[in-house]
Amino acid sequence: MARAYGAAGGSLTTNESRGKFGKAGFHGHEGEVQTARLLAAAFRGDPDVLLFHDLRVPERGDGRPERGNGQIDHIIVRGHRIIVLDSKRWRAGRIVTVPFLGTFRGWRRFRPADKHTVGMAVDRLSCYLPPGCRVRGALLVQVAGKGKLDLRFYRPRDGVTAISADNLAPLKTMLGGPARSDPAVSAAIHSLLIRPAA
């Protein structure tokens, strides 16, 4: 059975977050909790997988201040293969990335789909972890409300993979075959948990 650490959506339950994000923070919290449930079910029979929820992005090595909230929703680990996973809840529709123009939902520009946060977290984590780790990024997108979400023509920035919540097979492919956990890797990631107790 996969082991899980941290509190999914925990950063979105503080009074500061409620004031800053309002209703969007509530929906974000619900999305992160649902993603944690989906991951637990998907990796239920896999003792090699470690699931981490609600983590800080490692600090920059140059001492410059962080931009953004510096938070990672989920990290999945199998051996030296690591996935930085961001949870999203988007309304139904077709999400299409048009080269040089950006991403659209239907005919309207959809700026939340073009954020650079996962790529930045992947870069920072790659420098933070022991040598030999392979860190990749993914967005797990759930449908908010009714309808279908079409991600076939969506290309997130920085080589991040977009995955629909109703098909987690790409995550398993990204993690590859069985691999024993490395205590140095799991300890390094564990130290980034915002709330270590699950």
Q: In this predicted model, what pLDDT tens digit does every residue of 30-89 receive, in sequence order? A: 889 999 999 999 999 999 999 999 999 998 665 554 555 579 999 999 999 999 999 999
Distance CA 11, CA 69 (A): 10
Residue 181 has pLDDT above 50, yes or no: yes
Distance CA 111, CA 48 (A): 36
C-beta separation of 120 from 126 below 8 A: no
pLDDT, residue 188, reads 96
Burial class from Cβ neighbours inside 10 Å (0-12, 13-18, 19+) for residue 126 reads middle
Q: Is 11 left (phi over 0), alpha (psi -120 to 50) or beta?
A: alpha
Q: How far is CA 143 from the centre of its chain?
A: 16
Distance CA 129, CA 80 (A): 10
Q: What are phi and psi of 142, to 5 degrees?
A: -105, 155
pTM for the full model?
0.87
Question: Position 154: which residue type?
Answer: Y
**Can you list the pairs that 151-158 forms with residues at least 24 positions away whose Cβ atoms lie under 8 Å?**
151/95, 153/94, 153/95, 153/96, 153/97, 154/95, 154/96, 154/97, 154/103, 154/113, 155/97, 155/103, 156/97, 156/113, 156/114, 156/118, 157/114, 157/115, 157/116, 157/119, 158/116, 158/118, 158/119, 158/122
Q: What are phi and psi of 109, to 5 degrees?
A: -60, 135
C-beta separation of 163 from 139 below 8 A: yes
pLDDT, residue 29, reads 81
Question: Position 153: which residue type?
Answer: F
Q: Where are the beta strands (DSSP E) in 126-174?
A: 134-153, 161-164
Mean pLDDT over each residue of the chain, to the nearest integer? 87
Domains of the chain in start order, with CATH, are 3-190 (3.40.1350)
Residue among 8, 50, 12 nearest 32 (CA):
8
Residue 171 has pLDDT above 90, yes or no: yes
pLDDT, residue 67, reads 53
